């Protein structure tokens, strides 16, 4: 990937600009590689933004919390096909792992699906409550996880 501006410094600049414009409800979706990168965002922006949710790893974390008025979830996880590799047919990822030769990922025609989302109750820019909803294709009910409030 090409060299880009540091995302932490860029986010700090952008959040400051939004505060100068009196924007209160700020949500960060950080498409970060590592869980530590996402946690750094929380430490930098707690009490400055309404919510932070990580994406990219396709694996849902179980750490939904509200810390200093900021709702946080390290990774919302995969929404899509869950019985393969990151929502894609497993042939190409297995081929790449075994041979180093990649290819074009394909979404399978049939799969067991999953839907996940994060919902935040925000008042005046501050997270008051949050929960995560998970729905599996073979279950009639939803799995709801409430945020820990620190």
| pLDDT of residue 33 exceeding 90 | no
28-36, long-range: CB within 8 Å, 24+ apart, which pairs?
28/52, 28/53, 29/53, 29/54, 29/55, 30/54, 30/55, 31/55, 31/56, 32/7, 32/56, 33/57, 35/61, 35/74, 35/75
For 35-55, what is the mean pLDDT? 97
For the chain, the structural domain boundaries read 7-81+118-149
- pLDDT (tens digit, 9 = 90+) per residue, 86-117? 888 999 999 999 999 999 998 888 888 899 99
Residue 17 has pLDDT above 80, yes or no: yes
Candidates 8, 116, 145, 109; CA nearest to 55 is 116
C-alpha 150/C-alpha 142 separation (Å) is 25
Specify the CATH number of the domain 7-81+118-149: 3.60.21.10
C-alpha atoms less than 13 angstroms from C-alpha of 56 in its C-beta half-sphere: 12
Mean pLDDT, the chain, whole residue set? 93
For the chain, the C-alpha Rg in angstroms (whole number) is 18
Q: Residue 65: what pLDDT?
A: 97
Residue 1 pLDDT: 62
Query: Residue 111 has what pLDDT?
Result: 87
């Amino acid at each position: 990937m090409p060299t880009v501006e540091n995302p932490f410094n860029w986010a700090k600049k952008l959040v400051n600009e939004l505060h100068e414009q009196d924007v209160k409800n700020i949500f960060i979706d950080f498409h970060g590689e590592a869980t530590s990168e996402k946690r750094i965002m929380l430490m930098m922006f707690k009490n400055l933004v309404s919510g932070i949710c990580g994406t990219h790893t396709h694996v849902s974390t179980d750490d939904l919390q509200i810390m200093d008025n900021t709702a946080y979830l390290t990774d919302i996880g995969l929404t899509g096909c869950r019985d393969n590799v990151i929502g894609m047919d497993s042939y190409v990822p297995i081929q790449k792992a075994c041979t180093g030769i990649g290819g074009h990922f394909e979404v399978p025609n049939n799969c067991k699906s999953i839907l996940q989302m994060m919902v935040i109750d925000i008042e005046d820019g501050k997270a008051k409550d949050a929960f995560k909803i998970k729905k599996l294709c073979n279950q009639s009910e939803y799995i709801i996880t409430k945020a820990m409030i620190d």
